[in-house]
Each structure stands twice: as structure tokens, then as C-alpha cells.
Amino acid sequence: MKKNISLLIVDDEESVRDSLQNWFIEDGYVVDCAENAKTALSMLERREYDIILADIKMPGMDGMEMHRRIKSLNQSSIVIIMTAFASVETAVQALKDGAYDYITKPFDPDDLSHLIRNASRQITLSAENEALKKKLISLENIEDIIGNSEPMIRVLKEVESVAQSNSSVIVTGESGTGKELIARAIHSNSPRKYFPLVSVHCGALTESLLESELFGHEKGAFTGAMFNRKGRFEMADGGTIFLDEIATISGKMQIELLRVLETKSFMRVGGNKEIKSDFRVICATNRDLKSLVDNGTFREDLYYRLNVVNIHVPPLRERADDIPMLVDHFIQKYCTSMSRNMISIDQAALKKLSSYDFPGNVRELENIIERAIVVGNGKEITVKDLPLASESIGTSYESLEDLERKYINEVLDRNNWNISRSARSLKVDRVTLYNKIKKYGLRTDK
């Protein structure tokens, strides 16, 4: 803890400076001294110290004035005041001005060492918190938009441009293109990044469940409502709410959503108290909302409220140049998560992938690479490791639904039909997986 902590001792008495410097150097700190406030401020222009131990009574500028000057430099140094005049007024004023603490002369060296140790702990914790924030941002972006093709460069510029605003955004694109990653990138590069990003998959919920999910409910609002429950809009206060598959919501929910967007307030189901929430909304859809407006299934006023900015994510077939980079990324991801030695992909397999249309887009490519790592020889991905290579790669399925059905069935088989593990592997929730099993008539009695 002490290794990188630097101290500046400011006192006009040489004996005090020397004894404190020797004491704290012996204690493991990096220590410099200044004989007056002017010299100390000059030193602070060249470097920043973690802790400044300053005498309050010095010729010329006193310690209190020096402290105020230090704060005006916007430095984060902790200042501890030393005073021989143990007056309450002096101590209170020092603390009001932002001093960490004060100590009276003559002082016990052990007391002063204890005070410096406490200040050092605060500095260390602050540094760790800052490092953790940066790490969290890094982790949040690790799955972010991968690719350097022209279409993706354009998307990245749009994300960067819109991130700093509070405008509503609709992210459009085919299934599997990574629309949620775009939403996360917008949020994590915005001023709201230290507040929650709350996701709701609207297509996986019935109207009544979606209402409760978005707005929360009061105890007793309906059968099974045993406790008060916060809704997603309430959880997103200060942050961002991401509404996936927005085109699937009912007419009633469209009216409710429009009201919330206009007033930034709502009531829980079964409640009568108005709840305020400061959120930004980002939506995603793989459908043409404008055509839904034209045929009367989606409200025009809600459409224009949501569609302030539109970001379209291109399908993978329009950004084939990104396939090698994506393949490398997914190989690293799954080799790491499976604790495997890093492997490569041979040129024939990469060429096969690069010539494929990918109806399932990036999600399909990710699933192909994950499966190839699982079933392969552990050294190199070859054409024979690609799933259904003779049928799928280079040959279109009858439909995207056929592809999805086959892959879901494969993942369920691989996980012995354990729904929780399969849902995690597919990166969907259990409700969505159950709905897909029902939709495709897959057997659950294996």
C-alpha cells in the first residue's frame, strides 16, 4: 500500500521537516519537503503528491491559504493540516475547505503515522475503484462491434456520434447481426455509462407479463404477486433501457409506452403512486417499422418518438471482409472459456466460411466456431469441423427458421436437454427457449 504513496511535507522548521521525512521514509513512503508554501506550490506545478502534510502557521502564505490554492489547481492530493493552535474554529474551517484531517503540535509520531496510513488506504481504494471502472468499461465493450469493413466503420461512426446525446435510437437489422451489442456500445460510451443498461426482450413476453416487467407491480396486484416489484423503467433510472423486438408489442402496450416516453413517469401495476424515472430508450427490431405504421399495426406517434436516430446494422453477407476478424475473435473467446489451447483455422475452412451467405448472420458464425472447437481435433479448424458442412456451408437452407430449429435442437442435445445450460449457450432466457421449443415442435422428453 505504501510503495507508491508520495508525501510532501511543508513546514518552516527544518527540524520538523527532517524528522518527519526520516520517519516516513523509514515507513516506506516517498517523501519530499518544502520550507514554505510558495516553494510547495512551485513543486506541485511539476508533479502531484498523494498526501500533503502542511503546517498552518508559516511566514508569508499560511497553510490554510496554500490548501485553497492546491484545490484551485484541481489536484486530488489529500491535505492534512498541522497546527500548534488547537482551536475548534481552525479545525472546522480546514475541514470545510476540504482538508482530509488536522493534527495538533506537539503530536505523537504514532498518531500521525496512523493518520497517514488511513489517508493512504483512501488513496489506494480510490485508485482501485477507478481501475475497476475502466475494467468494467473494457469488459462491457469486449464483445462490442468487431470489424473494419466500410459498413461497420460507418456504424461505428454513428454509434460515436449518437452516444453523447439523450436521443431515442432504433437499431435495425436482421436477426443475429448484433443489434444488442450496438445498444451496449451506445450506452457504454455515453454519460449514462455508470448507471444501468436494462434490457427487455419484448417478443418473449405476453402483454400482461410485459406490462409487469416494464412498470413493476404492487403486492396483491394479481394472483401470485406476493411482493412489490420494481419494473425495468424504474431500474433504468439514470441509465438506459433497451427494448428488443419492439415491433412485437400490442396496441395497448404501445399507448402505455408512448405515455411513459412523453412524461418519464408511470405507475406500477395495481399501484396509484406516480413514479419518475430518468432513462434513455434504445429499441431494436428486425422488421420494417415504417411498413407496420403504414398498415396500422404500429402507432405513428410512437414510431416518431422512438425513431429520432436510426442505426442499421448490415447483415454479415454485406460485410464479408469482417469474417476473418470475427473468426479470430470467436476462436479466442471459446478457447479461453473452455480452457483450451489457442487453435487456428485452415485456409480452406476460412474460404468456405467467407463464401457462405450466413442467413443467421454473426450469431450463426459464432455458433459454427463454438461447435467446431467442441468437435474438432483441438489443433486446427478444418472444413470437416464446420457443422453440416456438406449441406449448409455454401448452400442455403430453405429458411432461417430451418437453420434456427436445427441449431437449437443440436444445442439441446449437446446439453442433454438441460434448459438452463442450453439457454446460456444460446444466449437467450429460458422463456425464449421454451417458446422456440414449442414453436418448432422439438421433443422435450429426450
Last residue of a domain, one of 110, 137, 164: 137
| Percent above pLDDT 70 for the chain | 89
8 A C-beta contact, residue 56 and residue 62: yes
Is residue 198, in this structure, part of any structural domain at all? yes
Find the helix or strand (DSSP H, E) in which 242 lies: strand 240-244
For residue 65, the model assigns a pLDDT of 82
Separation of alpha carbons 134 and 105, rounded Å:
41
8 A C-beta contact, residue 305 and residue 261: yes
Task: Please say if the pLDDT value at position 101 is more than 70.
Answer: yes
Any idea what the CATH number is for the domain that residue 114 is in?
3.40.50.2300
Looking at the structure, do residues 379 and 350 belong to the same domain, yes or no? yes
Beta strands in 357-432 (DSSP E): 380-381
Looking at the structure, do residues 128 and 255 belong to the same domain, yes or no? no
Looking at the structure, do residues 46 and 113 belong to the same domain, yes or no? yes
Give buried/exposed letters for 368-406 (b at 16+ CB in 10 A, else e). Answer: bbbbbbeebeeeebbbebbbebeebbeeebeebeebbbb
User: What is the mean pLDDT of the segment spanning 198-225?
Assistant: 86
Is residue 1, in this structure, part of any structural domain at all? no
Local confidence band at 314 (pLDDT 50, 70, 90 cut-offs): very high
Is residue 443, in this structure, part of any structural domain at all? yes
Grid coordinates representing 218 are 404492487
Which of 170, 262, 246 is closest to 210 using CA atoms? Answer: 246
One-letter amino acid at 376 equals G
Task: Please say if the pLDDT value at position 397 is more than 50.
Answer: no
Separation of alpha carbons 366 and 144, rounded Å:
14
Grid coordinates representing 133 are 471502472
Is residue 40, in this structure, part of any structural domain at all? yes
Separation of alpha carbons 377 and 196, rounded Å:
41
User: What is the mean pLDDT of the segment spanning 1-27?
Assistant: 84
Secondary structure of residue 104 in the 3-state scheme: strand
Looking at the structure, do residues 385 and 436 belong to the same domain, yes or no? no
Is residue 27, in this structure, part of any structural domain at all? yes
Looking at the structure, do residues 116 and 208 belong to the same domain, yes or no? no
- Number of structural domains found in the chain: 4
| Segment 278-287, tens digit of pLDDT | 999 999 999 9
Beta bridge partners of 276: 265
Looking at the structure, do residues 425 and 347 belong to the same domain, yes or no? no
Of 81-90, 275-284, 359-368, 411-420, the range with the highest mean pLDDT is 275-284
Q: What are the φ/ψ torsions at residue 117 (nearest 5 degrees)?
A: -65, -40
Is residue 142, in this structure, part of any structural domain at all? no
Any idea what the CATH number is for the domain that residue 424 is in?
1.10.10.60
Secondary structure of residue 90 in the 3-state scheme: helix
Beta bridge partners of 201: 244
Indicate the pTM of the whole model.
0.58
| Segment 61-77, tens digit of pLDDT | 877 888 888 877 756 78
Last residue of a domain, one of 137, 157, 178: 137
Domain range for 116: 6-137
- Lowest average pLDDT, out of 88-97, 107-116, 150-159, goes to 88-97
Looking at the structure, do residues 244 and 335 belong to the same domain, yes or no? no
Find the helix or strand (DSSP H, E) in which 180 lies: helix 179-188
